[in-house]
Structure 1
Amino acid sequence: MTIQTPRPAIRTTCPYCGVGCGILATPDGAGGLAVAGDPAHPANGGRLCVKGSALGETLGLKGRLLAPRIGGQEAGWDQALDLVARRFSDTVAEHGPGAVAMYVSGQLLTEDYYAANKLMKGFIGSANIDTNSRLCMASSVAGHCRAFGSDTVPGLYEDLEAADCVVLVGSNLAWCHPVLYQRLAAARETRGTKVVVIDPRRTATCDIADLHLPLAAGSDAALFNLLLAEIHRRGLVTENPENLAEALAAARATQPAATGLPRGAIRQFLDLWCGSTRVVTVYSQGINQSDSGTDKVNAILNCHLATGRIGRPGMGPFSVTGQPNAMGGREVGGLANALACHLDIQNPAHRDAVRGFWNAPRMASAPGLKAVDMFRAVEDGRIKALWIICTNPAATMPEADRVARAIAGCDFVVVSDIMARTDTARLAHVLLPATGWGEKNGTVTNSERRISRQRRSLAPAGQARDDWRIIADVAGRMGWGKAFAWTGPAQVFAEHAALSGVAGALGGDFDISVHAGITAAEYDALEPFLWPRSATRRGGRFFGDGRFHTPSGRARMVAVTPRPPQPLGKAHPFRLNTGRVRDHWHTMTRTGLSPRLSRHLAEPFLELHPQDAARLGLAPAALARVTSPHGRAILRVLVTDRAAPGHPFAPIHWTGETAPSSRIDALVGGLVDPVSGQPASKSAPVAIRPFAAAWYGYAVSARTIRPACDYWARATLPGGHQAELAGRTEPQDWTAAARAMLGVGGDPLIFRDPRKGILRMAFVEDGRLSAALFVAREPAALSRSHVAAALGRECRGDILAGRPGADQPDEGATVCACLGVGADAIRRAVAAQGLTTVEAIGKALGAGTSCGSCRPELKSLLGTARARAADPC
């Protein structure tokens, strides 16, 4: 008997949202990790959401890109890097620096980001490097710069716990930043913190709201203008920022009717905000992803600047970022209109300082192309060589189909990724295998400016290399080896820190120069810290002293004239809102590998208000065809009053790998904010009509399911996969079609009812269920959790019933993904045990006692149970 020696836990950081939770990752000796929250990390204090707690389930080699590929064929690293360097060098020589571009990601580590920015802006000499962070927080950057003279987040997470009132604007904190939601919920419980949620949609975050304002879509700036006018009327203006009079004039001209809210609800909000000295306004994508996002940001900032409620405990505006290192990317100048260390690319003194520090041969002298414009330049041939790193724009950019065609037509495309097959990877001439979470070594910065280490806890998969190293190797082959001669990420970080000292000397906010001489050992031991961190400055809040980074030292207010979203036409009468679900992340290349994370919502969907569903003739669980001027999608209908009439909602996560007919960004247009360049991703004009399916189906298989039908959505199960299916025409031979789709052989057990259009098949291998297919004329009515759980188990013919027997109670759809507790199990416990609170459910079943993200749904189930008890008919 071999006794395994316990391995020490490695302190690292979660790779999901911008909260930046600390993680304890313990290698199991077999290529996996046990994951727990780090109690010592200031961001989460040991808490994790369900995505973070499931990280260990997303590791492994499944789907990984393990070696470089050229033209789809495996190649050696030297061959691939030589080709990339030669094609980029030749393109620059023939067409100039503007003919090449990089599109990078907020999931890169800071060291990777720094290397890419240095290569493009300082050595190739082009600022055509932009990031998918352009899609999520560019409007916040622009608003900060207009108001503060710098892209500075003034507050800290602890302000959520010190505030008397927290206003959440366009932020579904419960699902998108669950650990911050937990901290806020605890503050509300213990301190009585008042919570206001401003969102056209009733989200899970409304569970803790003292006031929910379902304002008219796009009218956020109007509401905050009304607040600014009220602040002045009540004599609460205590500061004298620049442009105060102009901002007040614009605010007083705003009419309450623009918000679509009752005057009484507006009055409640004004009373809460004005009556709470310690107020924090948290905002996210609902503000940023707009064609007037920057103005909305400044409308919020105006209110805090006028009252001085900024930079002090429990006070301030707070932008929460969507990606783990969106902030780190901002710090290194990852945006096309920025320079390293928050310096200004349009400022000659800043450019000269960075050029001198890098000893750069060709410094970019002007902003480059922002994301939407970048891919337009790829489309029309101005950009001839494109390097995409750690992101999937063929699925996630607005007008995604158009972007995919542009990439496919580009002369030379390089993709660095961890996965071998993505919508974008399929279009590359060269694929370069990168390390993933658990294999990477570097730093990230969270939404409160806290820099933390991501530490390597697993060996790189196959031939995968760190992104900074890949970039440095290409730079060396282009003739700049000396400037990129790092031997480890500690050296990259030390250089970044040293450059920040140059920025600090120029008056910049970002300065971590105390780490300029950091050694490899010190880097390995680096504790999470807040910037700035220099000889004279150490962490804390910004602007509480009334000093800003503008030439005058005063804050700048902006006169905001609210602009409603673009008008809808008869052809596209609905305004589509988009966003995230609780248990998945971006395009699911990581979360999609975890069966647990697919239990809650395993299929793309369209939330429709009951009035809209009735008018369109769409029943719950039917399929809808959604079209826009840019693309089309097929989505499962979820009828709910969470969505406002005329404003359906759909999640963004599904791609060509998981649901090719449900790619949401194919519907979203390329309309952008004129200041930030951020796309308006939450107001796409669409048309909706029923999808005329001849049949619907549900399948499970121990092998990869490969459907060939009009609609399918695939998800991972513990023993294989499941898929929802639908088609306009039936196969001539269902058995042959099932074998091909499910990857099985042999003859199935079959139940058929031609009159009702029902067909059910079960494939059995060695007495165990290897695959099953359920087909009907209507959406398949069966217990999916029961069928999925039967996969790989001893099979009897009763599996064709599609439901458990009387002695096997059904769990139902998963509500608590942490502990695998289903809705039916919760309903039974509520009825049998007389449970009346979420806490009682937790004691009985465990649901809601882990990450807590399911607590709003538990509360909803209790509300439904009470309603049924009050009106049993």
Structure 2
Amino acid sequence: MTAHVPEQTVRTTCPYCGVGCGVLATPDGQGGATVAGDPEHPANLGRLCSKGSALGETLSLENRLLHPQVDGVRQSWESALGTVAGGLRKVAEQHGPDAIAFYLSGQLLTEDYYVANKLAKGFIGTPHVDTNSRLCMSSAVAAHRRAFGSDTVPGCYEDLDEADLIVLTGSNTAWCHPILFRRMVDARAKRGTKLVVIDPRRTQTGEEADLFLGLKPGSDTALFSGLLVHLADTNMLAARFAADPTAGFEAALARARLIVPDRAAVARLTGLTDAEIGAFYDLFARTERVVTAFSMGVNQSAQGTDKGNAIINCHLATGRIGRPGMGPFSLTGQPNAMGGREVGGLANMLAAHMHFAPEEVDRVRRFWNAPNIITGEGMKAVALFEAIQRGKIKALWVMGTNPIVSMPRADLIKAAIAKLDLYVVSEVVADSDTARATGRRTVLLPALAWGEKDGTVTNSERRISRQRRFLKAPGEARPDWVALADVGRRLGHGHAFGFTSTAAVFRQHASLSAFENNGTRDFDLGGLADLSDAAYEANAPVQWPLPKRGGIRPRLFADGRFYTFDGRARFVAVQAPALAQAVSAERPLVLNTGRVRDHWHTMTRTGKSQRLSAHRAVPFVEVHPDDAARFGLTDGAIAAVSTEHGSAELEVMVSAGVAPGSLFMPMHWSDATASKARVGALARGVPDPVSGQPELKATPATLAPVAYRARGYLLSREPVASPPDWWWARAAVAGGWGLLFATQDGSREIAMLMRGLFQGCELAEYADHARGRYRCAVYDGSRLVACLAYAPGEARPDWEAAKALFALDVPETPERRALLSGRAATAMGPVVCACHGVGLDVINAAIAAGAHSVEAVGAACKAGTNCGSCIPEIRKLLPDALARSAA
């Protein structure tokens, strides 16, 4: 039965991770919208995580790029696109078309991606088109192609519901794919599914596991090579799959035996105990329905492709692929990483999952009628930006991504961009680090954001869903494909870029996938190639392959037929793990990077939400207690993390979740949101030799305390620029913005700063300069416009109470006094449940009142009842609170 949806509500798709959740968006008529999960979308069945639930809080036009600019001066679209086309033509004439590069994004819609790829590879004639998906899942792509002959994810989300064992390796699924993790937990409750989590860091996912394996960084291939040996030695192989439909098994098994000749070798290489290894191997061997889900912890490695193939080898050897509840499963990080792969958005692909065999090049050339089609691979992301530095690339068009924050060795990239003859950025926000960089000629093009643009995305299970427009385009923002097609026409290729609608682009994309296919290629959308505009608008989520004849196949390869030239899957003889992390006395630690629960990429969207900013407000580094003691650090102090490539200053979070000798730093903060926190500047980024995906999980590093005279916070209705010598981080708060800072300035200097910043306003102040303490509340009439607290570093002020008071806008006399005293009864503590905005104090109060389980806490205050990603934190609070109440 179809649920009733109000007439003004639009069915669309979440713009965050690769789960691809369906969303119901209802515009409020004032540029905003309410957002709910779509109960009819098969990816999420109505659930949304904290980020998806807060989408309505991220739609403001604050800091939006609304008009084209050339060298910082507003221009018309006609002028800006003329500059782009003229610049590209000039570079091609003077240096050749391969001096032009495009760097795209999994944030783009498939239609945008398709036109960009067609323009560059078919008509400009440059092979140098890559994407930030190179940093995300290109090693999974390479592993799929080596094993299956195609970039095919064999299974679907229903396999998570039907598995009896789910192995999560290199994936903090509870935080990074929360809706899928809830499906896994539901399966455990319904059918007793076991969860094994393999990760060097005990993440929130690891805390929920039935078996956690905290292996050494980079040792995944040793663990899964040992598993392959174990399966062979215990006669657990599927004879049919280890022989007829496959090739290379004996060589792969021989290599596995060479890497780990016995269980002791597995233990030595991984750092796991014999008991831990035996428990995992026995569980995998005796369980028929096994899904092994892997993500960034596997992919973002100098050996990511081999890690993926070591996993796939074990599934091929046991025939656990393509059937319900079993198979290797790559969890993509971005909403349209899969769509970018479909159109050939990676430098080593052409289009429609075709590559560079002569017959494939000829096929695409004829379909596009493309005079300048490329015949070989272009440079992948790391090599591409190195080529800019060397002066080989003269023109770069960046679309929907922020490489100056996210790429490894990002400081070198920032410097290299200044050398470009033409630097074009299609962007939603005006103040991203990448938009603020400049080349010799810089063009900024305003793009449409989520809610304004229209097209399709493909999620991790090959399901294509519509992102639909429900807001008007602001300013002069345009769809990316429209700008690209306009440039194509200006370059003289009007016949190829005469698209009249997004649907027309999709039809051509689908037609190319079916062109001369006849079942020989995995990617086939022939069944959608003739969609009318109206049918495209109404199209429901659908999985590929979807040929013109034959039904949808949610799973592939159970029949033993693959997309290699002989139809047989390939076992891959993987290389031994390179465990030497090049640590030294100078850099004795290994830096790991990743995501936090409530933020996304470089925070250009999530940074607008006060709910999402409340959980982790400042950039931090997780340090094991032993290392904290070794380097003289305490929880909440500030430390400098340094590598060969850069440095950052972060708040210390002492945690036993990271192993001794390891550090963890999140990727989200940029120069727009913090003073010294760009993780990309620190990462060494050694590329995987097969996929080109850079290593982001193991960079040699060192750690040192940084002493500041004082710490404090500043809350204001509008963002306030911090002095250049402060350490700071900016976060959205209810009613405005918060700045957490550390400084060498004295309290008198802070008082002078506030008086200068807020001239013409009334300042209520408390000062104890002898003890280095200062508080200030700023009023414009009766309206509170700012407040600040400053104290010595060891007594840094807590801003939770002040945030609650600041949200009042016009506080009464008791609240005014509380701002200066630093005390208030309305604080709820740091936010734990972002979905419902439930703070630590509220949860502890519920526990003290008798809520002695996660379920009881949820019943009392709603915490943990939506996406469930806060459940591990709630579970950890239970024994502490109960112990306190007993005392």
Residues 802 and 417 of structure 1, relative CA distance in 2, 3 Å threshold: farther
Q: Residue in 2 aligned with 1:821?
A: 838
Matching of residue 451 in structure 1 with residue 464 in structure 2:
yes
Q: Residue in 2 aligned with 1:291?
A: 302
Matching of residue 319 in structure 1 with residue 367 in structure 2:
no
Residues 693-720 of structure 1: CA deviation (Å, up to 9, x unaligned): 1221211111212111331100111211
Q: Residue in 2 aligned with 1:559?
A: 573
Letter in 1 for 2:233: R
Q: Residue in 1 aligned with 2:60?
A: 60
Q: Residue in 2 aligned with 1:179?
A: 179
1:58-207 → structure 2 map (5 Å cutoff):
58-207=58-207
SS of the equivalent of 1:409 reads: coil
Matching of residue 341 in structure 1 with residue 352 in structure 2:
yes
1:126-525 → structure 2 map (5 Å cutoff):
126-238=126-238, 239=241, 240=243, 241-253=246-258, 254=260, 255-256=265-266, 257-345=268-356, 347-428=357-438, 429-502=442-515, 504-505=517-518, 507-525=520-538
SS of the equivalent of 1:650 reads: strand
Matching of residue 811 in structure 1 with residue 818 in structure 2:
no
Alpha-carbon distance in structure 2 between the residues aligned to 1:517 and 1:779: 67
SS of the equivalent of 2:767 reads: strand
Alpha-carbon distance in structure 2 between the residues aligned to 1:865 and 1:800: 29
Residues 287 and 743 of structure 1, relative CA distance in 2, 3 Å threshold: farther
Alpha-carbon distance in structure 1 between the residues aligned to 2:602 and 2:634: 28
Query: Which of 592, 601, 619 lines up with 1:586 in the alignment?
Result: 601
Residues 712 and 797 of structure 2 are in contact (CA less than 8 Å); yes or no, is this contact kept in structure 1?
Answer: no
Alpha-carbon distance in structure 2 between the residues aligned to 1:307 and 1:368: 37
Residues 787 and 802 of structure 1 are in contact (CA less than 8 Å); yes or no, is this contact kept in structure 2?
Answer: no
SS of the equivalent of 2:197 reads: strand
Q: Residue in 1 aligned with 2:589?
A: 574
Q: Residue in 1 aligned with 2:722?
A: 707
User: Shift in Å at residue 143 of structure 1?
Assistant: 0.5
User: Shift in Å at residue 599 of structure 1?
Assistant: 1.1
Q: Residue in 2 aligned with 1:630?
A: 645
Residues 866 and 218 of structure 1, relative CA distance in 2, 3 Å threshold: farther
Letter in 2 for 1:81: L
User: Shift in Å at residue 780 of structure 1?
Assistant: 5.0
Letter in 1 for 2:406: T
Alpha-carbon distance in structure 1 between the residues aligned to 2:42 and 2:340: 21
Residues 867 and 227 of structure 1, relative CA distance in 2, 3 Å threshold: farther
Alpha-carbon distance in structure 2 between the residues aligned to 1:480 and 1:733: 62
SS of the equivalent of 2:11 reads: strand
SS of the equivalent of 1:82 reads: helix
SS of the equivalent of 1:229 reads: helix
Alpha-carbon distance in structure 1 between the residues aligned to 2:826 and 2:761: 31
Letter in 2 for 1:619: T
Alpha-carbon distance in structure 2 between the residues aligned to 1:436 and 1:249: 51
Alpha-carbon distance in structure 1 between the residues aligned to 2:448 and 2:779: 39
Alpha-carbon distance in structure 2 between the residues aligned to 1:289 and 1:24: 33
Alpha-carbon distance in structure 2 between the residues aligned to 1:125 and 1:271: 53
- Percent identity of paired positions between Structure 1 and Structure 2: 52
User: Shift in Å at residue 503 of structure 1?
Assistant: 5.7
User: Shift in Å at residue 779 of structure 1?
Assistant: 5.0
Matching of residue 534 in structure 1 with residue 550 in structure 2:
no
Letter in 2 for 1:654: W
Letter in 1 for 2:749: D
Query: Which of 540, 544, 548 lines up with 2:558 in the alignment?
Result: 544
Q: Kindly report the root-mean-square deviation, in angstroms, between the aligned alpha carbons of the 2 structures.
A: 1.5
Residues 783 and 802 of structure 1 are in contact (CA less than 8 Å); yes or no, is this contact kept in structure 2?
Answer: no
Letter in 1 for 2:832: V
Query: Which of 857, 860, 877 lines up with 1:841 in the alignment?
Result: 857
Alpha-carbon distance in structure 2 between the residues aligned to 1:131 and 1:867: 51
Residues 607 and 640 of structure 1 are in contact (CA less than 8 Å); yes or no, is this contact kept in structure 2?
Answer: yes
Residues 720-751 of structure 1: CA deviation (Å, up to 9, x unaligned): 110110124448732232345x6564352222
Alpha-carbon distance in structure 2 between the residues aligned to 1:397 and 1:52: 25
Alpha-carbon distance in structure 1 between the residues aligned to 2:826 and 2:426: 47
SS of the equivalent of 2:593 reads: strand
1:5-16 → structure 2 map (5 Å cutoff):
7-16=7-16
Alpha-carbon distance in structure 1 between the residues aligned to 2:567 and 2:391: 44
Letter in 1 for 2:117: N
Residues 75 and 196 of structure 1, relative CA distance in 2, 3 Å threshold: same
Alpha-carbon distance in structure 2 between the residues aligned to 1:793 and 1:856: 37
Residues 734-785 of structure 1: CA deviation (Å, up to 9, x unaligned): 2232345x65643522222234322222212222322111112215544422
Alpha-carbon distance in structure 1 between the residues aligned to 2:870 and 2:758: 35
Alpha-carbon distance in structure 1 between the residues aligned to 2:882 and 2:276: 27
Letter in 1 for 2:327: G
Alpha-carbon distance in structure 1 between the residues aligned to 2:118 and 2:127: 10
SS of the equivalent of 2:604 reads: coil
Alpha-carbon distance in structure 1 between the residues aligned to 2:281 and 2:383: 40
Alpha-carbon distance in structure 2 between the residues aligned to 1:454 and 1:802: 49
SS of the equivalent of 1:274 reads: helix
Residues 768 and 795 of structure 1 are in contact (CA less than 8 Å); yes or no, is this contact kept in structure 2?
Answer: no
Residues 434 and 466 of structure 1 are in contact (CA less than 8 Å); yes or no, is this contact kept in structure 2?
Answer: yes
Residues 65 and 433 of structure 1 are in contact (CA less than 8 Å); yes or no, is this contact kept in structure 2?
Answer: yes
Residues 748 and 769 of structure 2 are in contact (CA less than 8 Å); yes or no, is this contact kept in structure 1?
Answer: no
Q: Residue in 2 aligned with 1:674?
A: 689
Alpha-carbon distance in structure 1 between the residues aligned to 2:311 and 2:591: 24
Query: Which of 722, 747, 750 lines up with 2:738 in the alignment?
Result: 722
Residues 777 and 820 of structure 2 are in contact (CA less than 8 Å); yes or no, is this contact kept in structure 1?
Answer: no
Q: Residue in 2 aligned with 1:652?
A: 667
Residues 113 and 508 of structure 1, relative CA distance in 2, 3 Å threshold: same
Letter in 1 for 2:471: L
SS of the equivalent of 1:772 reads: strand
Letter in 1 for 2:366: G
SS of the equivalent of 2:382 reads: helix
- Length-normalised TM-score, structure 1: 0.97
SS of the equivalent of 2:36 reads: strand
Residues 617-639 of structure 1: CA deviation (Å, up to 9, x unaligned): 11111000111111110000011
User: Shift in Å at residue 581 of structure 1?
Assistant: 0.6
Matching of residue 863 in structure 1 with residue 879 in structure 2:
yes
Residues 316-339 of structure 1: CA deviation (Å, up to 9, x unaligned): 000000000000000000000001
- Length-normalised TM-score, structure 2: 0.95
User: Shift in Å at residue 344 of structure 1?
Assistant: 1.2
Alpha-carbon distance in structure 2 between the residues aligned to 1:779 and 1:116: 53
Residues 409 and 683 of structure 2 are in contact (CA less than 8 Å); yes or no, is this contact kept in structure 1?
Answer: yes
Alpha-carbon distance in structure 2 between the residues aligned to 1:461 and 1:292: 44
Letter in 2 for 1:267: G
Alpha-carbon distance in structure 2 between the residues aligned to 1:670 and 1:264: 34
Alpha-carbon distance in structure 2 between the residues aligned to 1:743 and 1:518: 59
Alpha-carbon distance in structure 1 between the residues aligned to 2:50 and 2:467: 19
Letter in 2 for 1:298: N
SS of the equivalent of 1:607 reads: strand
User: Shift in Å at residue 216 of structure 1?
Assistant: 0.8
Letter in 2 for 1:56: G
Query: Which of 818, 840, 853 lines up with 1:799 in the alignment?
Result: 818
Letter in 2 for 1:484: F
Q: Residue in 2 aligned with 1:17?
A: 17
Q: Residue in 2 aligned with 1:854?
A: 870
> What residue ranges of structure 1 are gaps of 5+ in the alignment?
none
Alpha-carbon distance in structure 2 between the residues aligned to 1:7 and 1:154: 37
